């Protein structure tokens, strides 16, 4: 979701999954009903750490309302990487955009009252990304396809080019720590993340952010 990249903040979270086999498309996605209704993917902003819970609530709510055919898929975008620690390696999943999920809905979901009310009433959802005058903007199909390809292992996640060095003084420009200034302590090129020491409540704390969330100060 490159066009919304600057809106999506906070560090990637990882989960040990114990297997190096990525899910197939058939396992990841439910088939779209052949009902003639055009469907698009939309990004929803949700409470951080509640991404999976919100997806489950949407599925449960759609079933209770009898609109499962309208709320087809809900995904937490993530990628699988191998991490090495203590001489051993394990496969973990990183959320690509913590605080965001993707949902497949009828085009112009604002015209479907039951779908619209489900989104508005589901606890943990704060709104659509790129919504103009209550008209949500769908994500370009090619961007969703790239995310799905990464999730299924058909394509590797792009590795960002980092233009920072350890010791650089930087300012955080996006996310919950926006406007904090600190120094880079560690750079993870593979993940595209930086560990920065900042002063919070008169104490020096190390936080992890993505490289695009900072600028040289």
Buried b (16+ CB within 10 A) or exposed e, 84-95: eeeeeeebbbbb
Provide the CATH number for the domain around residue 133: 3.30.70.940
Is 158 among the domain residues? no
> Is the same domain home to 146 and 177?
no
What are the tens digits of pLDDT across the range 190-205?
777 899 999 987 889 9
Q: Which residues contact 160 (CB under 8 A, 6 or more apart)?
A: 192, 211, 212
> Is the same domain home to 113 and 141?
yes
For 207, the 3-state DSSP assignment is strand
> Is the same domain home to 22 and 62?
yes
> Is the same domain home to 83 and 184?
no
Does residue 174 have a pLDDT over 50?
yes
> Is the same domain home to 82 and 24?
yes
Total domains in the fold of the chain: 2
The pLDDT mean for the chain works out to: 84
Q: Give the domain extent around 13.
A: 2-151
What are the tens digits of pLDDT across the range 68-88?
999 999 999 988 776 554 446
Closest CA to 48 of 5, 13, 78: 13
Say how many CA atoms lie within 13 Å of 33 toward its Cβ.
13
Provide the CATH number for the domain around residue 181: 2.30.30.30
> Is the same domain home to 111 and 30?
yes
Is 93 among the domain residues? yes
> Is the same domain home to 146 and 51?
yes
Last residue of a domain, one of 151, 183, 198: 151
**Residue 208 neighbours by CB distance under 10 Å:** 16
> Is the same domain home to 145 and 191?
no
> Is the same domain home to 108 and 202?
no
Closest CA to 152 of 98, 100, 74, 79: 79
Closest CA to 139 of 56, 43, 66: 43
Element (H, E) at 142: helix 141-151
For 33, the 3-state DSSP assignment is coil
Averaged pLDDT for residues 168-188: 91
Is 156 among the domain residues? no
> Is the same domain home to 34 and 111?
yes
More confident residue, 39 or 156: 39
Closest CA to 131 of 2, 48, 7: 7
Q: How far is CA 213 from the centre of its chain?
A: 15
């Amino acid at each position: 979701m490159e066009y919304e990249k600057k809106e999506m903040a906070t560090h990637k979270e990882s989960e040990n999954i114990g297997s190096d086999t990525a899910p197939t498309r058939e396992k990841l996605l439910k088939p779209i009903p052949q009902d003639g209704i055009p469907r698009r993917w939309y990004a929803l902003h949700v409470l951080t750490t509640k991404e999976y819970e919100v997806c489950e609530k949407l599925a449960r709510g759609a079933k209770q309302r009898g609109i499962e055919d309208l709320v087809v898929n809900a995904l937490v975008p993530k990628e699988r990487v191998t991490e090495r620690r203590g001489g051993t390696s394990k496969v973990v999943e990183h959320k690509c955009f913590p605080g965001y999920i993707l949902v497949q809905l009828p085009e112009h979901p604002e015209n479907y009252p039951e779908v619209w009310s489900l989104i508005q009433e589901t606890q943990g959802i704060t709104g659509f990304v790129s919504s103009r005058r209550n008209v949500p903007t769908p994500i370009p199909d090619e961007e969703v396809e790239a995310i799905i390809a990464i999730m299924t292992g058909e394509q590797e996640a792009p590795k960002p080019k980092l233009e920072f060095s350890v010791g650089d003084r930087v300012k955080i420009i996006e996310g919950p720590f926006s406007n904090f200034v600190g120094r880079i302590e560690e750079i993870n090129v593979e993940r595209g993340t930086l560990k920065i020491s900042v002063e919070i409540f008169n104490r020096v704390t190390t936080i992890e952010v993505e490289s695009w969330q900072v600028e040289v100060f």
